[in-house]
């Protein structure tokens, strides 16, 4: 008795089918895995003026109420005035208009915070909104 099966006696087209099947599976796997690429989230960059920490022995006076004039252009932002410590006293630095370094950035105002040894100045800076 003679039994023929595809496993024992493959047809001449079997290698071509196997190669095509392997290519098809490889391409399907590559397509599936290429959809899994995930980009890391964009990092937020904050530009802050770094310098010596200014410490005043007493709280700053109440800020002046400033008259804000007309902006020189639509991109300009009002940078409010602030009290600066130097020479043993506070001096008022008036506000002014400034253009942000990048579109969509906002001005974070100067501020004084109580801390060790007195009041610490946190300088104003530009930051993304």
- What pLDDT, on the 0 to 100 scale, is given for residue 83? 98
Question: Is there a domain that residue 95 lies in?
Answer: yes
Quote the pTM value: 0.59
The domain containing residue 89 runs over which residues?
49-128
Interatomic CA distance for residues 119 and 64, integer angstroms: 19
Question: Is there a domain that residue 19 lies in?
Answer: no
Give every residue of the chain whose pLDDT is below 70, as ranges.
Answer: 1-18, 21, 24, 26-51
Helix (H, G, I), strand (E, B) or coil at 30: helix
Question: Is there a domain that residue 115 lies in?
Answer: yes
- What pLDDT, on the 0 to 100 scale, is given for residue 23? 73
Please answer whether residues 84 and 93 qualify as being in contact, where contact means their C-beta atoms are separated by less than 8 angstroms: yes
Please answer whether residues 46 and 128 qualify as being in contact, where contact means their C-beta atoms are separated by less than 8 angstroms: yes
Interatomic CA distance for residues 19 and 72, integer angstroms: 70
- What pLDDT, on the 0 to 100 scale, is given for residue 6? 55
Question: Is there a domain that residue 31 lies in?
Answer: no
Question: Is there a domain that residue 6 lies in?
Answer: no
Question: Is there a domain that residue 123 lies in?
Answer: yes
Question: Is there a domain that residue 97 lies in?
Answer: yes
Number of domain units in the chain: 1
Question: Is there a domain that residue 42 lies in?
Answer: no
The DSSP 8-state label assigned to residue 39 in this structure reads P
Please answer whether residues 102 and 74 qualify as being in contact, where contact means their C-beta atoms are separated by less than 8 angstroms: no
- What pLDDT, on the 0 to 100 scale, is given for residue 19? 72
């Amino acid at each position: 008795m003679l039994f023929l099966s595809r496993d024992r006696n493959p047809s001449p087209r079997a290698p071509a089918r196997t190669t095509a099947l392997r290519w098809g599976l490889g391409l399907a796997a590559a397509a599936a895995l290429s959809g899994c690429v995930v980009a890391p989230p964009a990092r937020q960059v904050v530009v802050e003026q770094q310098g010596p920490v200014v410490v005043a022995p007493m709280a700053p006076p109440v800020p002046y109420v400033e008259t804000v004039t007309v902006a020189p252009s639509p991109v300009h932002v009002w940078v409010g005035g602030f009290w600066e410590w130097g020479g043993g006293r506070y001096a008022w630095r008036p506000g002014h208009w400034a253009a942000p370094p990048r579109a969509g950035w906002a001005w974070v105002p100067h501020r004084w915070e109580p801390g060790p040894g007195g009041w610490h100045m946190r300088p104003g800076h530009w930051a993304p909104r």
